[in-house]
Structure 1
Amino acid sequence: MCRGDDANCPQFELHYRAFREDLDHERRGFLKSSFVAAGGIATLGAAGASLVTPALAQATAAKSPAVPKSHYLPANADTVHWGYFSKSLKPRVEVDSGDIVTIETLTHHANDDAERMVEGDPGAESVFLWTKDKKGVDRRGAGPTDPKVYKKGSGEGQGVHVMTGPVYVRGAEPGDVLEVRILDCVPRPCANPKFKGKAFGSNAAAWWGYHYNDMLSEKREVVTIYEVDAAGAKSWAQAVYNFKWVPQTDPFGVVHETIDYPGVPVDHAKTSRNFDVLKGVRVPIRPHFGTLGLAPSEVEFVDTIPPNYVGGNIDNWRIGKGATMYYPVAVEGGLLSVGDPHASQGDSELCGTAIECSLTGVFQLVLHKKGDLAGTPLEELNYPMLETKDEWLVHGFSFANYLKELGAEAQSAIYGKSSVDLAMRDAFRKMRHFLMTTQKLTEDEATSLMSIGVDFGVTQVVDGNWGVHAVVKKAIFAGRA
Structure 2
Amino acid sequence: MTPHIHTIHHHHFGWDNSLTPDTHAAPGDTLAFTVQDASGGQLTEHSSVADLAAFDFSRTNPVNGPVYIDGAEPGDALKVEVLDFQEGGWGWTGLIPGFGLLADEFPDPWLHLSRYDREAVQFTPEIRLPTRPFTGTIGVAPAEPGLHSVVPPRRVGGNLDIRDLTRGSTLYLPVEVPGALFSVGDTHACQGDGEVCGTAVETAMTVQLRFSLIKGANFSAPRFEVPASGLAPVDQQGYYATTGIGPDLYRAAQDAIRAMIDHLGREYRLDPPLAYALCSVAVDLKISEIVDAPNWLVSAYLPRSIFR
TM-score computed with the length of structure 1 as normaliser: 0.44
1:319-338 correspondence to structure 2 within 5 Å: 319-338=165-184
Contact between 1:73 and 1:93, CA under 8 Å: does it hold in 2? Answer: no
Q: Is 1:316 the equivalent of 2:216?
A: no
1:271-420 correspondence to structure 2 within 5 Å: 278-370=124-216, 379-390=217-228, 420=249
Superposed CA deviations along residues 252-295 of structure 1, whole A, max 9, x for unmatched, are: xxxxxxxxxxxxxxxxxxxxxxxxxx322112111000000000
Q: Is 1:200 the equivalent of 2:46?
A: no
User: Residue 330 of structure 1 aligns to a residue in which SS?
Assistant: coil
Contact between 2:138 and 2:185, CA under 8 Å: does it hold in 1? Answer: yes
Superposed CA deviations along residues 364-391 of structure 1, whole A, max 9, x for unmatched, are: 1011222xxxxxxxx4411000111249
Contact between 2:136 and 2:186, CA under 8 Å: does it hold in 1? Answer: yes
Counterpart in the other structure of 1:145 = none
Alpha-carbon distance, 1:346 to partner: 0.5
Counterpart of 2:33 (choices 96, 99, 103) is 103
Counterpart in the other structure of 1:238 = 122
Contact between 1:186 and 1:287, CA under 8 Å: does it hold in 2? Answer: no
Contact between 2:45 and 2:113, CA under 8 Å: does it hold in 1? Answer: no
Alpha-carbon distance, 1:71 to partner: 3.6
Alpha-carbon distance, 1:297 to partner: 0.8
> Using a 3 Å threshold, how does the CA distance of structure 1 residues 385 and 333 change in structure 2: closer, same or farther?
same
Counterpart in the other structure of 2:286 = 457
> Using a 3 Å threshold, how does the CA distance of structure 1 residues 323 and 106 change in structure 2: closer, same or farther?
same
Contact between 2:165 and 2:226, CA under 8 Å: does it hold in 1? Answer: no
Contact between 1:184 and 1:362, CA under 8 Å: does it hold in 2? Answer: yes
User: Residue 86 of structure 1 aligns to a residue in which SS?
Assistant: coil
> Using a 3 Å threshold, how does the CA distance of structure 1 residues 70 and 382 change in structure 2: closer, same or farther?
farther
RMSD (Å) for aligned C-alpha atoms: 2.9
TM-score computed with the length of structure 2 as normaliser: 0.68
User: Residue 111 of structure 1 aligns to a residue in which SS?
Assistant: coil
Counterpart in the other structure of 2:272 = none
Q: Which has the higher contact order (CA 8 A, sep 6+)?
A: 2
Counterpart of 1:221 (choices 109, 113, 117) is 109
Superposed CA deviations along residues 382-416 of structure 1, whole A, max 9, x for unmatched, are: 1000111249x9xxxxxxxxxxxxxxxxxxxxxxx
Contact between 1:205 and 1:223, CA under 8 Å: does it hold in 2? Answer: yes
> What is the alpha-carbon distance in structure 2 between the residues aligned to residue 421 and residue 281 of structure 1?
28
Counterpart in the other structure of 1:80 = 11
Alpha-carbon distance, 1:74 to partner: 3.7
User: Residue 74 of structure 2 aligns to a residue in which SS?
Assistant: coil
Alpha-carbon distance, 1:115 to partner: 5.0
Alpha-carbon distance, 1:361 to partner: 1.0
> What is the alpha-carbon distance in structure 1 between the residues aligned to residue 78 and residue 7 of structure 2?
19
Counterpart of 2:102 (choices 204, 211, 233) is 211
Alpha-carbon distance, 1:214 to partner: 3.0
Count of aligned pairs: 231
Counterpart in the other structure of 1:8 = none
> What is the alpha-carbon distance in structure 1 between the residues aligned to residue 46 and residue 20 of structure 2?
32
Counterpart in the other structure of 1:180 = 80
> What is the alpha-carbon distance in structure 2 between the residues aligned to residue 205 and residue 70 of structure 1?
40
Q: Which has the higher helix share?
A: 1
Runs of at least 4 residues off by over 4 Å: 419-422
Q: Structure 2: state its 5+ residue gaps.
A: 48-54, 232-247, 254-283, 288-308
Superposed CA deviations along residues 99-142 of structure 1, whole A, max 9, x for unmatched, are: 111111111323222658xxxxxxxxxxxxxxxxxxxxxxxxxx
User: Which protein shows a greater Rg?
Assistant: 1
Superposed CA deviations along residues 224-251 of structure 1, whole A, max 9, x for unmatched, are: 011112xx3xx11114xxxxxxxxxxxx
Q: Structure 1: state its 5+ residue gaps.
A: 1-16, 21-68, 117-151, 189-198, 240-277, 371-378, 394-418, 425-454, 459-481
1:467-478 correspondence to structure 2 within 5 Å: none
